[in-house]
Amino acid sequence: MSILQAIRIFLFYLLLGTSSLLWCTLSFFIAPFLPFSARYRFINVYWCRFALVLVRVFLNIKVKVSGAENIPKQPCVILSNHQSTWETFFLSAYFSPLSQVLKRELLYVPFFGWAMAMLRPIAIDRDNPKAALKQVASEGDKLLKDGVWVLIFPEGTRVPFGQIGKFSRGGTALAVNAGLPVLPIAHNAGKFWPKQGWNKRAGTIEVVIGAPMYAEGTGPRAIAELNDRAAAWNEQTQRDMGSLPAQAPNAAQGVA
């Protein structure tokens, strides 16, 4: 990392942290008096857009979105791979209003957590996975019925660039039970914003929005099949954008 790059990254985090503190403090006094859709825009959309401007100006990281025409009019469950913090900024600003699953402890952080609590997040206890699944199902269903997008990272945690985690079925279960599709999204944010460390790389993040996927039936089998289909789409899309190594042809494919 060059000295100039280190200075740019330092300024980025300084402005990001300062703006977060100021905006969350301001939101704490203004947002409670706004209806939910306006509250979400005030707290999340405006600040996340500002954060993305900082990313572009100081880190020289841009974004290219393809497949925007696939976004349905009715909010549904968004399934995205998870590599960095960047996609939380981007998706929170791109889809409005949006709720996401997060650790319950984050809501206890002064001002930041208090502001997040006003956005109807699904705050789970990760030490109790069974209760967390039930909570995602019940609260997620209410949010979808209220016209709120629900963002699920089915890998459960950030996965380093070049790898893909196992997809859990919580998101597809929520969609199937609500009678709604899942909207698959794949990106390569970790290439420029790594999971670990402070260093960032200049470049253009690719975001691909796939066509909505519907379950073929109901029940556990339909949930599992839809989840496998969404995972396979994400993996293949990441391979197509060069985030994962290309698959070697199997013996049958190699026969002329």
- Domain ranges within the chain, ordered by starting residue: 3-245
* pLDDT at 254 (0 to 100): 41
Is 189 in contact with 205 (CB distance < 8 Å)? yes
Is 243 in contact with 217 (CB distance < 8 Å)? no
Rounded Cα distance, 25 and 173, in Å: 36
Bridge-partner residues for 151, per DSSP?
Answer: 78, 100
* pLDDT at 112 (0 to 100): 78
Detail the DSSP E strand segments found in 35-148: 61-66, 77-80, 98-103, 122-124
Is 77 in contact with 141 (CB distance < 8 Å)? no
**In the structure encoding, which two tokens stand for residue 36, read together?**
């939910």
Given a cut of 50, the residues of the chain with pLDDT beneath it are 248-256
* pLDDT at 146 (0 to 100): 95
Q: How many Cα neighbours within 13 Å face the side chain of 213?
A: 26
Whole-model pTM: value is: 0.90
Q: Which residues, in sequence order, are CB contacts of 212 under 8 Å at separation 6+?
A: 70, 72, 76, 181, 182, 183
CA 30 to chain centre: 26
Phi then psi for residue 86, to 5 deg, are: -55, -45
Report the CATH architecture of 3-245. 3-Layer(aba) Sandwich (3.40)
